Amino acid sequence: MPTAQQVQAIMQRYVERVDAGDIDGILQLYAENATVEDPVGQAPLQGIDQIAEFYRQGLGRMKVSATLTGPVRASHSGCGAMPFRVDMQWQGQDCSLHVIDVMTFDEQGLISSMKAYWSEVNVVPR
């Protein structure tokens, strides 16, 4: 199980890779059988193939930047949560999406699940 410090580092690396638009780098952080629920309430994506398609269809089609807006909170049980902001265009307008991601990690320190908490009420004009 990754330590709390390792969870913090991995989650920060995730935001850095989102900011860079590094889809392959993001996918390297995930376990083969991981799940993604983005946003929470959507049917979870299961497995690296579905997750790859999600990032390629979303992040791969738009220019975004991502910034942590607070510290990564990490547990001693391989879980973490972080607030961050994604700046992008939403329906033709420059805006910011404020999101909280909650992740769990496997024994190898790979993301086994990611849940993103956000909705349209968290999208604000820039």
Question: Which tokens is 42 given?
Answer: 């959507």
71 burial (CB, 10 Å; 0-12 / 13-18 / 19+) is exposed
Pairing label, strands 111-117, 93-105 = antiparallel
* Contacts (Cβ under 8 Å, ≥6 apart) of 4: 74, 75, 76, 80
Name the nearest CA neighbour of 59 among 32, 33, 31, 97: 97
Residue 30: phi and psi, rounded to 5, are: -95, 145
Catalytic positions, written as ranges? 14, 38
